[in-house]
Amino acid sequence: MEVTAAGRQPAFLDVEASLSGQRWVQRLDPAGINRALAIAQTHGMPDLVSRVLAGRGVSNEEAATFLTPALRDLMPDPSRLQDMEAAAARLADAVSFGERVAIFGDYDVDGAAASSLTKRFLDHFGTDSEIYIPDRVFEGYGPNPAAMDELIERGAGLILTVDCGSTSHAALERAHERGIDVVVIDHHQIGPDRPPCAALVNPNRDDDLSGQGHLCAAGLVFLFLVATLRELRKRGDGRASSLDLLTMLDLVALATVCDVVPLRGLNRAYVVKGLLSARHMGNPGLAALMRVAGVDGPVTPYHLGFLIGPRINAGGRIGDAALGSRLLTLSDPAEAQQVAETLNRLNQERQAMEQSMLEEAKAEALAEIGTSDGPSVIVTESEGWHPGIVGIVAARLKEEFRRPAFAIAFDPSGNGTGSGRSIAGFDLGRMVRDAVEKGLATKGGGHEMAAGLSVERERLGALRSYFEECAAATVGALRAGQTVKIDGALAASGATMELLDQLDHAGPYGAGHPQPVFALPEHQLTDARIVGADHVKLRLADTTGKALDAIAFRTADSDLGRALMEGRGRRFHFAGTLSVNHWQGSRRVQLRVIDAAVPQA
């Protein structure tokens, strides 16, 4: 691979500015190309598959074990996590002595899965337990003193918080004052101050040296249950030998995919083994949700992330926040079907609300951008928006305008609840925390790629100005350098099921292990039409006449979508990912188009 005098890779297929305004580059650098060659020669892999592995940092020595991850080799001793032994002993006490256990979870997929894992574990031992999920709008995130009082009044002798609790000082202090132990199982960032609790298992504690900070809450809860099961076996509890925790990995896989944690190491093993469990349909709730979501073919990370996850989240966003965790805990298929249908209906309502909010937000953003390049950070707001959906709207705005974006829902009294999404390289969470310190937002926080905040309407103008001040130089440079990384080139005739099966073996793909992106050079666009709300369905043909179906999701109103709709009969370079389209019992390869470019003359 050549490098220009300025040290920059040449553009792949000479695409300096695609239809979406991005530069195409080869993912592999010279060292990566050598790594790919070594993998192909040593392991007899096809060139494209070896390039995919090398492009994701897999070495020649790691390739064989990477393709066949073993949970027993990748799972650490749970006791390496700070406070894990104390946490496992306390839950084992509750099981042994018949205490009532309250499980306080979060309202997203990870929280629902983590709560359900714990409940299913306790149900096996006949331990009286309940799940409590706070209302997103009225209670907000994490434990609160009133909820602690309610759980204690209902007889809780032990409270477990999963996917939350690390910074809930007031709530945990209330439980401590009333003589009730709390065990916290969480993975969110935490400062030096510790809340009062019997145990705090959080690999992101500054004194935790386990190296497991990449796990989602459900993955962490699985380790907690392994430790508790081991403790119960030591105590001679005969019921422990009849529980196979591996059958619950479907929930861990679901949470790992939906919480967008890096799919490397233990997380990758969780998903690989969890997908096998999910395909057996052993969890009635998950099976029912797959049916109503129309999952066809074997369960994949795509199904979990884009079909199952949004339906579970719909309960927390606009309905009953506890529906998701309840569904994943049920053992009665008929009841599970009813709850799944309710979540499916809520998801349809959420989609309609999202579409309306997004159209309003995009109109506001376009007016703000005008004929110039516009602000570095898009901030949209409305009094009529639902606060449970602002995060989705912010994500769509970020994708559309390729810059950090916020959507804020104001109530009639002028208090706003907002959510933001960032582009790679810009720390949104830090900017929001700094705004809180300066008194521009009443509260807020998050991480590099996503953040939430509360703001009073009279401070919104000052907040916008501060965001622009913080972001202008950095975001401008990041946007100018945004690229589409290409793993390799192929023709429609080479997009076969055999290739796709080989690529799937190098998966699953997700955060930290991105889906391979391939370029299809100079393919003729033989058909283009809008399907669904705003997707563009395409048909491409290579120089041999071999055709390939393709789809560009959510692009009908974008520059890319409009150019494709007007480009029938012309040739384009296409970039996208390969997937299987199951239709009437057959399997066909389909290209999910993420970008396109006009070939240079």
Summarised one tens digit per residue, pLDDT across range 509-549 is 988 899 999 999 999 999 999 998 789 999 999 999 999 99
Summarised one tens digit per residue, pLDDT across range 290-303 is 999 999 878 999 89
Q: Identify the pLDDT of residue 370.
A: 67
Distance CA 79, CA 433 (A): 33
Among 508, 80, 497, 444, smallest CA distance to 254 is for 508
Residue 257 shares a structural domain with residue 163: yes
Summarised one tens digit per residue, pLDDT across range 32-61 is 999 999 999 999 888 989 999 999 999 999
Residue 128 shares a structural domain with residue 51: no
Q: Identify the pLDDT of residue 32.
A: 94
- DSSP type of residue 203: T
Q: pTM, whole model, 2 decimals?
A: 0.89
Write the CB contacts of 19 (distance below 8 Å, at least 6 apart in sequence): 559, 560, 563, 564, 595, 596, 597, 598
Residues paired with residue 312 on neighbouring β-strands, in sequence order: none
CATH number for the domain including 407?
A: 3.10.310.30
Summarised one tens digit per residue, pLDDT across range 318-344 is 888 899 999 999 999 999 999 999 999
Residue 480: Cβ-neighbour burial (10 angstroms; 0-12, 13-18, 19+): exposed
Q: Identify the pLDDT of residue 1.
A: 47
Q: Are 195 and 83 in contact (CB under 8 A)?
A: no
Distance CA 327, CA 314 (A): 13
Q: What are phi and psi of 413, to 5 degrees?
A: -85, 0
* 3 pLDDT above the threshold of 50: no
Residue 230 shares a structural domain with residue 252: yes
Distance CA 269, CA 558 (A): 38
Task: From 345, 363, 395, give the residue that closes a domain.
Answer: 345
Sign of CA dihedral 143, 148, 151, 155: positive
CATH number for the domain including 290?
A: 3.90.1640.30
Write the CB contacts of 532 (distance below 8 Å, at least 6 apart in sequence): none
Residue 51 shares a structural domain with residue 117: no
Q: What is the mean pLDDT of residues 139-153?
A: 92
Q: Does some domain include residue 62?
A: no
Domains in the chain: how many in total? 3
Q: Are 124 and 243 in contact (CB under 8 A)?
A: yes
Among 391, 394, 408, 451, smallest CA distance to 427 is for 451
Strands (E), 63-188: 101-104, 129-132, 158-162, 181-185
Range of the domain at 444: 371-481
Summarised one tens digit per residue, pLDDT across range 473-511 is 899 888 888 899 999 999 999 999 999 989 988 989 988
- DSSP type of residue 123: H
